Structure 1
Amino acid sequence: MTAKQHGLKKYIVRLSDDERAQLNALIGKGKHSAQKLLRARILLKADASEAGPGWPDRDIAAALDTRIDTVAKARQLLVDEGLDGALTRKHSPASARRRIFDGAAEAKLIALACSAPPSGRTRWTLELLEEAVVELKIVDRASDNTIGRILKKTRSSLTCKSNG
C-alpha cells in the first residue's frame, strides 16, 4: 500500500510562529492574488505544528472550496521550496508566448492607426493595419486580433482625433 492509501502524508506542513504571522498578515491585507491568498489559507489550515489545526486535505478543500490536488500541491511547494516558493506564482519561460509587440512597436502601431489612411480608404481597418505593420517592418507578423487587442489595451481606436 502507498502512503496515500494509508492516509499518511508525504508533505507535512509545520509552520513556525513567524511563518504563521506572515501568512495571517498576508491574508489580513487581502491585496494579493486570489491564488496567493488561497495558498496562504491552505497552509494555515494544514499546519500540523502545536499551534496549527492540522486539518486533513479533504476538509481544507471543502472549507476553501478548492480541489484536494490544490491543497496537496501547496503542501508540496512549502516542503520543497519554502514559504516564498509556496506562495509565489511560477511562470515558465518555455510555456509563455513571446510578445509580438514590445512598447516601441505598440507606439508605432498607434501612430500608424492615428495617421491618414491609405489612399482610397476613409479609415484604417484592423486588416489594413495588420498588413501595414508587416510591410513597414514594425513586426515580422501580426494578426488583426492582436492589433485589436493592443488598440483596446492602449485605449486607442481606429478613429483617432487626428483622423477624423
Structure 2
Amino acid sequence: MPNKKYRVELTEEQRSHLLERLGRGERPAAEQTRVRALLKVDERTEGLACTDARTAEALEVAKGTVAGIRRRFCKRGLTGCVERKSPDREYERKLDGEQEAELIRLACSEAPEGRSQWSLRLLADQMVELDVVEDLSHETVRQTLRTDRSQTDSSLTGVASG
C-alpha cells in the first residue's frame, strides 16, 4: 500500500467496537458508512486493507469521502470520526424568561376574534403590539414554543404554524 499521510490502524478493541456498532444496525446510515469505511481501510488487517478508490466503489461514496474519514480518524480519533460533530457555534436566545412566559401566556389565551387559533405570525405581531419585544419573527415563536412545549399546558398544540 502506498505511503499515506493519514493511516488507519485499528486496535482489536476499536475493531470489535465498530463491528458491534455495525451489527446492531440502529445507527444512521451515514454513520454506518463511516464505520464500514474505517473497517475496510484498516491497515492492521494483513493484506485486507482496501485502497480509497476500492473502498469508495464498494460503499458507493466518493473517493474524497473515504479520504475525509481517514483524515478525521487520525485527527479526532474513533468517536470523533464516526459520530457527527456538534456545531461549535452558540446562539444567543432572542427572548428572556419573562418574554417567553408572556409568549406562552398569549399562546394559551383565547385566539383573536375571527380566528379559531393563534398562528405563529399572529403571536409574533401581538408580542410586538404589546411592547413585550421590539421585533419578533414567527420562526423565533415556533422555536420557543417547541422548546417549552414539554413544560407547558397541552393547549399549545392548538397553535397553527402559518
TM-based fold match above 0.5: yes
> TM-score scaled to structure 2, two decimals?
0.71
| 2:152 alignment partner in structure 1 | none
- 5+ unaligned residues in a row in structure 2: which ranges? 150-155
Q: CA RMSD in A?
A: 3.2
> Post-superposition shift, 1:78?
1.3
| 2:5 alignment partner in structure 1 | 10
Q: Deviations over 1:3-31 (max 9, x none)?
A: xxxx5421111111111100000111122
Three-state SS of the structure 2 residue aligned to 1:73 is helix
Alignment CA distance shift 1:12-1:114 (3 Å): same
Distance in structure 1 (CA, Å) of the matches to 2:95 and 2:30? 28
The one of 63, 70, 74 equivalent to 2:65 is: 70
Distance in structure 1 (CA, Å) of the matches to 2:28 and 2:67? 19
More helix per residue: 2
> TM-score scaled to structure 1, two decimals?
0.70
Q: Deviations over 1:22-43 (max 9, x none)?
A: 0000111122233322211110
Q: Does 1:157 align with 2:158?
A: yes
| 1:129 alignment partner in structure 2 | 123
| 1:162 alignment partner in structure 2 | none
Alignment CA distance shift 1:61-1:103 (3 Å): farther
- Letter matched to residue 62 of structure 2: R
- Letter matched to residue 67 of structure 1: A
Alignment CA distance shift 1:130-1:58 (3 Å): same
Distance in structure 2 (CA, Å) of the matches to 1:20 and 1:52? 16
Alignment CA distance shift 1:93-1:9 (3 Å): same
| 1:21 alignment partner in structure 2 | 16
Distance in structure 2 (CA, Å) of the matches to 1:78 and 1:107? 45
Alignment CA distance shift 1:69-1:107 (3 Å): farther
Alignment CA distance shift 1:133-1:53 (3 Å): farther
Distance in structure 2 (CA, Å) of the matches to 1:104 and 1:61? 53
Aligned length: 149
